[in-house]
């Protein structure tokens, strides 16, 4: 028997006027001639994003959802090299602490997934530096909330750069330049085009990084005759030193012709096919739903999963699989 806990990404489709990703581009920032006023506008947008994020967390609590991924766009231009005078941790101390207090009060698991431009296996120093700056911003936000940073940020391996084996070794080389606090924050995910489950496990085992298994990505990108089940023990072993339960991603293909794209909802048969194989292997697994309909997709999946005879509902967002 395994506890399955569902979460979703970034924003709720059930809440109106509640975007946590309102933005301001650097071009817009530059057009404001009064720099102090421009900084103040950045702070207002960021404070609104954080307030909306708190609304979402309260909505989650009301619906028993204890697993959530923050938008990485909470603080516009937070890591831009030409906006270093935006002291967001100081200016937004109170709303960040409010978020952290709610997280601690409810025991909600939260994390981040930075955009694809975070490339820790890049051979170019400038790209590596930008990636580290972005990851440092995520660590700073967790620190501002008072949330432990361990295993709160999932990234992909990066680019193949015309030689996948060399790109894997480049990741190992670059890892030595990643500060320990950022190393502790990271998880790695198999992707849908380049780095397979086995590729990602190679790095995770070599560098002691937890692996977030993306089932949809594996279906889209795997070695010939690859059987993920034969590697599942290695996946779970990567989490043995983590204070958090095993995490995976679940989504469904939009269509046969757009197989890699995420559908609006999750196919319950696809999800059950996965759960039937791993039940009993871990006491709990946290499943992040990557679907266009966000929390609606979670509610719909819960309804359908609870119709299976080997599923016992715990609450609005979690169940036992027997």
pLDDT digits 0-9 by tens, 232-261: 999 999 999 999 999 999 999 999 999 999
Q: How far apart are CA 86 and CA 140, in angstroms?
A: 14
Residues of the chain with pLDDT > 90, as a percent, come to: 97
Task: State pLDDT tens for residues 40-95.
Answer: 999 999 999 999 999 999 999 999 999 999 999 999 999 999 999 999 999 999 99
Kindly indicate the confidence band of residue 105, based on its pLDDT and cuts at 50, 70 and 90. Answer: very high
Residue 211 parent element (H or E) = strand 211-214
Task: State pLDDT tens for residues 27-41.
Answer: 999 999 999 999 999
pLDDT for 107 = 97
**What's the whole-number mean pLDDT along residues 176-195?**
98
Q: What angle do CA 198, 200, 205 make, to 5 degrees?
A: 90
Judged against a pLDDT cut of 80, whether residue 225 lies above it is answered with: no
SS3 109: strand
Kindly indicate the confidence band of residue 223, based on its pLDDT and cuts at 50, 70 and 90. Answer: confident
Q: Compute φ and ψ for 134, nearest 5 degrees.
A: -65, -45
**What's the whole-number mean pLDDT along residues 193-213?**
98
Kindly indicate the confidence band of residue 226, based on its pLDDT and cuts at 50, 70 and 90. Answer: confident
Average predicted confidence (pLDDT) for the chain: 97
Which residue ranges make up each domain of the chain?
18-244
Q: How far apart are CA 194 and CA 174, in angstroms?
A: 19
* C-alpha dihedral (209, 213, 217, 221), degrees to nearest 10: 70
Judged against a pLDDT cut of 90, whether residue 116 lies above it is answered with: no
Residues of the chain with pLDDT > 70, as a percent, come to: 100
Q: pTM of the entire structure? A: 0.96
pLDDT for 115 = 86
| Architecture of the structural domain at 18-244 | Alpha-Beta Barrel (3.20)
Contacts 24+ apart (CB under 8 A), 91-94: 91/43, 91/46, 92/43, 92/46, 92/47, 92/50, 92/144, 93/144
């Amino acid at each position: 028997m395994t506890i399955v806990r569902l979460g979703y990404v970034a924003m709720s489709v059930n809440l109106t006027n509640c975007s946590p990703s309102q933005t301001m581009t650097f071009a817009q920032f530059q057009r404001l001639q009064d720099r102090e006023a421009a900084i103040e506008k950045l702070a207002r947008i960021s404070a609104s994003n954080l307030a909306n994020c708190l609304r979402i967390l309260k909505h989650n609590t009301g619906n028993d959802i204890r697993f959530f991924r923050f938008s990485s766009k909470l603080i516009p231009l937070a890591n831009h090299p030409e906006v270093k005078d935006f002291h967001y941790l100081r200016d937004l101390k109170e709303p960040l602490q409010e978020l952290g207090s709610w997280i601690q009060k409810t025991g909600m698991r939260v994390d981040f997934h930075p955009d694809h431009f975070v490339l820790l296996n890049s051979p170019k120093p400038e790209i590596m530096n930008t990636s580290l700056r972005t990851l440092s911003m995520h660590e700073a936000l967790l620190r501002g909330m008072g949330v432990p940073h361990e295993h709160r940020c999932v990234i992909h391996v990066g680019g193949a750069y015309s030689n996948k084996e060399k790109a894997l070794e480049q990741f190992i080389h670059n890892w030595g330049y990643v500060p320990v606090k950022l190393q502790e924050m990271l998880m790695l995910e198999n992707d849908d085009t380049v780095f397979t489950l086995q590729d990602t496990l190679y790095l995770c085992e070599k560098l002691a990084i937890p692996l977030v298994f993306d089932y949809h990505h594996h279906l889209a990108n795997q070695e010939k005759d690859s059987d993920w089940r034969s590697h599942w023990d290695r996946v779970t072993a990567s989490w043995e030193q983590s204070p958090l339960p095993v995490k995976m991603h679940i989504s469904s293909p939009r269509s046969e012709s757009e197989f890699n794209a995420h559908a609006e909802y999750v196919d319950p048969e696809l999800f059950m096919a996965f759960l039937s194989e791993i039940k009993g292997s871990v006491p709990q697994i946290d499943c992040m739903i990557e679907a266009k309909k966000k929390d609606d997709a979670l509610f719909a999946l819960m309804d359908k999963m609870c119709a299976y005879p080997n599923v016992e509902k715990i609450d609005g967002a979690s169940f036992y699989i027997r």
